[in-house]
Amino acid sequence: MACAVLAFWMAHAAAGLSADPLPIPRRILAPHDSPLPRGLAGPEVHAGNIQRLVEMPLNHLGLVVDYLNVREGLPSPDSVPDVRGVLLWFDGDLSTDPEVFLTWCESMIDAGKRVVLIGNLPFDAAIQGGRIPHRRLDRFWSYLGLRWRDDPVQITYRTVVANKVSAMVEYERALPVSLLPYEATRASSPRVRSYLTVRDRDVRDSEADLVVTGPAGGYVAENYLAYHPKGAYFRQWYVNPFEFFREAFATDDLPKPDTTTLCGRRIYYSHIDGDGWHNESEVAAYKERHAASSEVICREILEAFPDLPVTVGPIAADLDPEWSGTRDDAVLARRIFALPNVEAGSHTYSHPLDWAACIGGAAAIRAASEADGTAEDEEDDNLSVFGAGGTGTNRNGRAGPSGGEIRRDPPGREASYDRGPFELRREIEGSIAFLNRLCPPGKRVAILQWSGNCCPFEEAVSQAREAGVRSLNGGDSRFDAEYPSCLWVAPVGRQVGGRRHAFASNSNEETYTDLWMDRYFGFRDLLETVRRTEEPVRLRAFNIYFHMYSGEKEASLAAVKSNLEFARRQEIVPVTTSHFAGIADGFYAARITPVGPLAWRIQDRDLLQTLRFDHAEARSVDFGASRGVIGERHVRDRLYVALDPSAPVALLVLREGPARAGPALPCLADSRWPVWDVHAGAAACSFRTAGFGPGDMAWRLPTPGPVRVRVARGDGTAREVRVEPRDGLHRFSPGPASAAAAEVSIEWSPVAP
């Protein structure tokens, strides 16, 4: 098989891309109906339920959600070969012609794309009056393998559950004793599987199937996907979203681009927003000399944990002497940026609070929504949208904007430093240029950390790209006693217009401290989210995200230290925040093309270097047939495959059966440092590696005996060690972290055939 797959791949590569098979479709179109300006409002405005509730599990399954405004037209099926399916979930009626929309959905199914409907169809009557003919609605439902009766059940006191599959239904929350109203739908095809069937206990043949999947997609009745009452922060799943969408969109054939894992270990990164740079610290050791919170963070966090990388993004106005900065601020910033474990970031220039409002877009959004009748009251919780609160604290240590003089930002305030008209280039290019002058030679700002509501408009995201930096922030993922559901775990990122930016993987300390008003110890609760997003399913990278004002209080500083100490004890691969943002970018860009049985070509993946296979206990990598693949690791029933960053195009071939104790070629099991440029043979392998903290790694090698490891470090030093195997793995460390990559070679005696 190895030779056949390799020959197939090489032949197609030689023939050129035109002869290649198509990549596996990964896009899910999410139609919405919005009058809002393109590139200004993100999906949290016009398709809130899909982004807030559904996009994360779809991302986990390797799928990318693209939000499609029906007012801009519907693409023909043959124009979107990369689309896997369509997700329908609307809050109200469509403004477009219902029959045209239904016909489009049916044409997508005819083209082999799946359609999933959550809740009711997005219309009740035709645009110009009369009702849609029953036969037309019947035809659409039949495409989903369902029979529909125009007689919704509103009174449910006699309704009982006739059948439920526990692996799919009541995932986080039991169904209510008094069931909710529902549409009378019934499976009409033997290929459709029902996971929840209810009936009127006093009426024969009254069964209704409320959660179904089939070859055309799936359906969940209104209010039966999740408990998420409007205006309340408490939410939980009724349906297991991972299993439902896995079946509805048939994702088992798709290797999952994974943003949680690198070199077999969970990704760790940390970043600090500059809010509260000048706050006067109340920490005992610093209080008497009125030290700023930023100095406390520098000494107690950045310098005390050199083994853990952290990205520091100051607000440029806090450091600029023409705004609010002093000579001491510049000295401290240079000291911070010079630390080997610190990556330079920017938290903008004036700290915009509402990005759309800064260019008058907030008024345009409100006017369009009100004119269209789609305006909604804001939900009563600080995590209603996957964005940050983003206000920080002022010089007096009171909650309020960084550098301000008030407890909270007044209504209508657009930026923490509200001095003159908003200038986008100053916020992005200007802040980067200013902060670059404070960086040591060889180090530059690598990432833009969005401020305020963390909902930049499309042009802002584009300018960050044009400035040569990644961008990230927002998300506010929580999964703990206060937010007891993975519904509060954010997706990989946010779409706005034709651009995307990454979300932070975990919430910052604002949401744990009542927006920096109370419970200053609250950030220690981050670890519950970290644990719940690891077991039983690894959903997110491990991210410690906080602000400079955490150096203001004894309790908040202790909470950050506690989280960092916990991180030190974990099996992680620490990376910079810009590195993680590059992994997120790779998630959206990656193309995965089947080139044979259990074989795929992977390309355009940016910094993403891990593919995940679920329910793969009985599969392993065929390293002899693969190219650009350096390792594998089974974690529970999942297989994580590590790709070589130095191979822009990788060929991955799996085989049935467990990993061999003595593989024909070296296999990386796990590493704390990223590994790349791997060259392997029958009796030796070499690679390059660099990272933060001790570089512990484990390899599965073709020999059962000892090996010789040589390490040449970037500082010109070299060493050689003998490594004995333990439990089938050769474990060693290239040594302490350094600024330059280490070149490592492993040699062993060839094993006789």
Q: Say which CATH number the domain at 373 has.
A: 3.20.20.370
Same domain, yes or no: 148 and 95: yes
Does residue 382 register a pLDDT over 50?
Answer: no
**Is the CA virtual torsion 537, 248, 227, 123 positive or negative?**
positive
- Degrees, nearest 5: CA angle 457-463-466: 145
For the beta carbon of residue 410, count every other beta carbon within 10 angstroms: 11
Residue 686 CA to residue 212 CA, distance in Å, equals: 51
The answer to the question of residue 21 being in a domain is: no
Per DSSP, helices labelled H in 111-160 are 134-143
Does residue 13 register a pLDDT over 60?
Answer: no
Specify burial of residue 720 (Cβ count, 10 A radius: 0-12, 13-18, 19+): exposed
The answer to the question of residue 753 being in a domain is: no
The answer to the question of residue 13 being in a domain is: no
Query: What percent of the chain is helix, strand and coil (3-state, nearest 5)?
Result: 25, 25, 45
Read off the pLDDT of each residue in 537-566 and give the average, rounded to a whole number: 98
Read off the pLDDT of each residue in 727-733 and give the average, rounded to a whole number: 94
733: which 2 tokens? 């460390």
Which secondary-structure segment (H or E) carries 297?
helix 293-297
Return mean pLDDT, the chain: 89
The answer to the question of residue 5 being in a domain is: no
pLDDT in tens, 101-121: 999 999 999 999 999 999 998
Same domain, yes or no: 450 and 512: yes
Read off the pLDDT of each residue in 668-675 and give the average, rounded to a whole number: 97
Residue 626 CA to residue 638 CA, distance in Å, equals: 19
Residue 602 CA to residue 131 CA, distance in Å, equals: 49
Does residue 419 register a pLDDT over 90?
Answer: no
Q: Which residue has the tokens 């477009």?
A: 96
Q: How confident is the model at residue 52 (pLDDT cuts 50, 70, 90)?
A: confident
Output the pLDDT for position 449.
Answer: 98
* Angle between helix 134-143 and helix 98-110 axes, rounded to 10 deg: 30
Output the pLDDT for position 11.
Answer: 52
**Is the CA virtual torsion 318, 320, 323, 328 positive or negative?**
positive
Please give the torsion angle defined by the CA atoms of residues 22, 28, 31 and 32, in that order, rounded to the nearest 10 degrees: -140
**Of 43 and 701, more confident:** 701
pLDDT in tens, 465-523: 999 999 999 999 999 999 999 999 999 999 998 999 999 999 999 999 999 999 999 99
Residue in 297, 143, 275, 286 with CA at minimum distance from that of residue 215 = 143
For residue 64, the SS3 value is strand
Output the pLDDT for position 486.
Answer: 96
What is the reported pTM? 0.93
**Of 128 and 688, more confident:** 688
Output DSSP code: residue 447. Answer: E
Output the pLDDT for position 215.
Answer: 97
The answer to the question of residue 8 being in a domain is: no
Does residue 362 register a pLDDT over 90?
Answer: no
Let me know: does 550 contact 557? Beta carbons within 8 Å.
Answer: yes
Q: Which of 519, 550, 582 is the last residue of a domain?
A: 582
Output the pLDDT for position 402.
Answer: 32
Rg of the chain over Cα atoms, rounded to whole angstroms, equals 27
The answer to the question of residue 10 being in a domain is: no
Does residue 753 register a pLDDT over 90?
Answer: no
Minimum mean pLDDT among 45-49, 200-204, 433-437, 441-445: which range? 45-49
599: which 2 tokens? 């074989």
Residue 59 CA to residue 344 CA, distance in Å, equals: 29
Output the pLDDT for position 456.
Answer: 94
Is it true that the peptide bond before 536 is cis, omega within 30 degrees of 0?
yes
Output the pLDDT for position 393.
Answer: 33
The answer to the question of residue 717 being in a domain is: yes
Q: Return the percentage of the chain with pLDDT > 70, whole number.
A: 88
Residue 150 CA to residue 134 CA, distance in Å, equals: 8
Same domain, yes or no: 237 and 204: yes
Read off the pLDDT of each residue in 447-452 and give the average, rounded to a whole number: 97
662: which 2 tokens? 């003595």
Output the pLDDT for position 508.
Answer: 97
Same domain, yes or no: 221 and 313: no
DSSP letters along 220-265, please? E-TT-SEE--TT-S--EESB-HHHHHHHHTTGGGS-EE-SSEETTE
Same domain, yes or no: 572 and 603: no
Q: Say which CATH number the domain at 238 has.
A: 3.40.50
Let me know: does 740 contact 715? Beta carbons within 8 Å.
Answer: yes
Q: Which of 239, 257, 275 is the last residue of a domain?
A: 257
Read off the pLDDT of each residue in 429-456 and give the average, rounded to a whole number: 97
Can you give the three-state secondary structure of 355-375, one letter per residue?
Answer: HHHHCCHHHHHHHHHHHHCCC
Read off the pLDDT of each residue in 327-346 and give the average, rounded to a whole number: 97
Residue in 213, 250, 211 with CA at minimum distance from that of residue 113 = 250
Q: Amino acid letter at 131? A: R
Half-sphere exposure of 536 (CA within 13 A, CB side): 4
Same domain, yes or no: 35 and 114: yes
583: which 2 tokens? 């992994």
Output the pLDDT for position 749.
Answer: 87
27-32 vs 64-69, strand pairing mode:
parallel
Let me know: does 625 contact 2? Beta carbons within 8 Å.
Answer: yes
Q: Which residue has the tokens 């923490």?
A: 416
Q: How many domains does the chain have?
A: 3
Q: Which of 564, 582, 600 is the last residue of a domain?
A: 582
400: which 2 tokens? 């309020």
Read off the pLDDT of each residue in 636-650 and give the average, rounded to a whole number: 97
Same domain, yes or no: 221 and 304: no
Residue in 403, 414, 409 with CA at minimum distance from that of residue 363 = 414
Query: Residue 196 sits in which domain range?
Result: 27-257
Output the pLDDT for position 133.
Answer: 84
Let me know: does 640 contact 668? Beta carbons within 8 Å.
Answer: no
Q: How confident is the model at residue 10 (pLDDT cuts 50, 70, 90)?
A: low
Same domain, yes or no: 274 and 240: no
Residue 577 CA to residue 273 CA, distance in Å, equals: 12
Same domain, yes or no: 455 and 440: yes
pLDDT in tens, 198-255: 999 999 999 999 999 999 999 999 999 999 887 667 899 999 999 999 999 999 999 9
Let me know: does 645 contact 609? Beta carbons within 8 Å.
Answer: yes
Half-sphere exposure of 368 (CA within 13 A, CB side): 16
Same domain, yes or no: 211 and 323: no
Q: Which residues lie below 8 Å from residue 641, measured CB to CB, with a gap of 6+? A: 255, 610, 611, 612, 613, 621, 629, 631, 632, 652
Does residue 752 register a pLDDT over 60?
Answer: no
For residue 633, the SS3 value is strand
Let me know: does 419 contact 272? Beta carbons within 8 Å.
Answer: no
Residue 625 CA to residue 558 CA, distance in Å, equals: 51
The answer to the question of residue 4 being in a domain is: no
For residue 120, the SS3 value is coil
pLDDT in tens, 57-104: 999 999 999 999 998 999 999 999 999 999 999 887 888 888 999 999
Maximum mean pLDDT: which of 19-33, 199-213, 411-425: 199-213
Residue in 147, 160, 150 with CA at minimum distance from that of residue 202 = 160
Per DSSP, helices labelled H in 98-197 are 98-110, 134-143
Let me know: does 294 contact 337? Beta carbons within 8 Å.
Answer: no
Same domain, yes or no: 242 and 270: no
Output DSSP code: residue 324. Answer: T
Does residue 403 register a pLDDT over 60?
Answer: no
Question: How far out from the chain centre does Cα 682 lie?
Answer: 39
Output the pLDDT for position 395.
Answer: 31
Same domain, yes or no: 647 and 510: no
For residue 203, the SS3 value is coil
Does residue 128 register a pLDDT over 50?
Answer: no
Q: How confident is the model at residue 280 (pLDDT cuts 50, 70, 90)?
A: very high
For residue 708, the SS3 value is strand
